[in-house]
Structure 1
């Protein structure tokens, strides 16, 4: 089996020093609440008392799912390729948010069921043209899962080497909320009904179809180990995000996780390599039904709560400036002792 990236846990012994630095700033101790916690997290990830967040790269991993043949989505698979074109044109929701927050967006063709033309803002990394129908067969082979994980790690390492301080993860894939629900069901673990939400939006009849398709998939396999779960129920983009989490963590970079589907990938990554959780920051709490429970299963709290459920990395783009602000708290704010000492 291909070796997974080696992730070194953060040095917890540095935390008291980081807390002391924050308490010494020209403000009441603890007065900036969770931003102070975020500053500590960034300092631990970078293993320094003066962390720096100068650049955030957001990767939107795209892939299709054969499970859409079961009617689990309100939209056809062809929308995935259309949305990739929209991302590349710079006219998508995540493009608008990234422009507002200074985030650099790249699209990754992990498994779109279409032949996409080359583009300077797209990484061609197709594992296959869409995952198989998980209600009828394994979505991916083990070799395909491992290839996707390896490619995701390679993308994250390249971003780190190129200067990215934060590697943010978003996704696009019609049907992938169903895949994420199945991954959550097995790896959280959680009751299947608690994992299934509206995804792209369904009426009552559509939700009944979605639940039925997901139940068929769940009954087909009893997989519970992370790699087996990814093979049975995952998608190329989800498996590649697993690799990106592990690759970014191995490179000691902040991994900024978007919403429900990205969190499912993070969950799988953490179940494979528990130390990876030290490097993950969760951007927002999605309005997708299963997301709060999945965050609790990981023992984490998201930065924002805006009732988002679009995906694309939209929540990650909006949260990115908070990381810059938190790092600046340690490096740009005067110490109270210096203020009291006065000029000279």
Structure 2
């Protein structure tokens, strides 16, 4: 709890004065005002986060947290639970979907076990931050204790801190956990008092969507999570990787590092972080709009607008990795474009040389 509390207390707003300076610079570039749209907004946001006008997000990392879910017992997924282990190792070895996209974006993928049911060998390359061996079945009782929920958040903070110490200057959140769309829908419904039917989708595959909705509804009724207490919601109907991703968002903000969030599950995790400390919103950059029905609702609640709509629903941090080059472009724009005044001076010299 000490790490979480210290992290929350260290988070400050983005530097508004630096954002004004960045806006002045962007507006002075050789282009019509606002013509580069969201690219301009991203550059201005990055300036406020880093407190610099010369921007650099060249050292990128997707932190992919993996954990298992006890609600798997309720047949809310038609995928084998062993996939969690398989993909966590795949993150570390570089052969999953997010790895392919991250490789193209010049980013690394950091695989973290925050609650897988199995013990992974050290040779797997997966960082061991295991809080417990998967959550309990939330349809029968709390998914985890409050203390375990806090430990999951702190595990994410620890990994974020470690990556920043290694020189990483932009983070992204990713995950793996069979049934984690069930947990995410439950958290979103409980935290903002939605009917589960409004925020629940097929996830990676389920035989009956109505059964999945009924399980989530039962979990909320049994556990009665407090919507005013995000840790209580996380503990009762959430997942360990959701807590870990919330911790990554908090850790990024505390270190004044931008964090790109992926789709539905990552956005719900960011909402947990936001409910704990609203100032984290200044550091969040949304990537894509997931195909999951709760994704749009979650983004609107967070007050962010995803920049991409690629009909993706893989998870893993894949959409966040896909957005990394857009951040590079925003940095290149503010760092290398000439101003209207500079272009005018250059053209005067060119024309003078031609006349001579």
TM-score range, shorter chain: over 0.9
Partner of 1:179: 183
**Within 1, Cα distance between the matches of 2:35 and 2:125?**
41
**Within 2, Cα distance between the matches of 1:36 and 1:330?**
8
Q: Which one has the bigger helix percentage? A: 2
1:112 to 110, 113, 116: 116
Q: Is the 8 A contact 1:188 1:294 kept in 2?
A: no
- Deviation of 1:8 after TM superposition, in Å, equals 0.5
For each residue in 1:10-39, what CA deviation from the matched residue of structure 2 results, as whole angstroms up to 9, or x when unmatched? Answer: 122333221110011121121101110111
Q: Rg larger in 1 or in 2?
A: 2
| SS state at 2:265 partner | helix
Is residue 272 of structure 1 aligned with residue 276 of structure 2?
Answer: yes
Partner of 1:190: 194
For each residue in 1:156-183, what CA deviation from the matched residue of structure 2 results, as whole angstroms up to 9, or x when unmatched? Answer: 1111121111111100000100100011
Is residue 286 of structure 1 aligned with residue 279 of structure 2?
Answer: no
2:312 to 298, 308, 313: 308
1:251 to 251, 255, 280: 255
| SS state at 1:261 partner | helix
2:220 to 185, 205, 218: 218
In angstroms, what is the RMSD of aligned CA positions? Answer: 1.4
**Within 1, Cα distance between the matches of 2:221 and 2:197?**
14
Q: Is the 8 A contact 2:79 2:205 kept in 1?
A: no
Structure 2 residue runs of 5 or longer lacking an equivalent are 351-356
**Within 2, Cα distance between the matches of 1:85 and 1:11?**
39
Deviates more, 1:267-276 or 1:116-125: 116-125
Partner of 1:331: 335
| SS state at 1:87 partner | helix
Gap change, CA 1:160 and 1:88, over 3 Å in 2: closer
- Deviation of 1:49 after TM superposition, in Å, equals 1.8
Structure 1 residue runs of 5 or longer lacking an equivalent are none
Partner of 1:165: 169
**Within 2, Cα distance between the matches of 1:59 and 1:119?**
19
1:28 to 23, 29, 32: 32
**Within 1, Cα distance between the matches of 2:201 and 2:262?**
17
| SS state at 2:39 partner | helix
- Deviation of 1:120 after TM superposition, in Å, equals 6.8
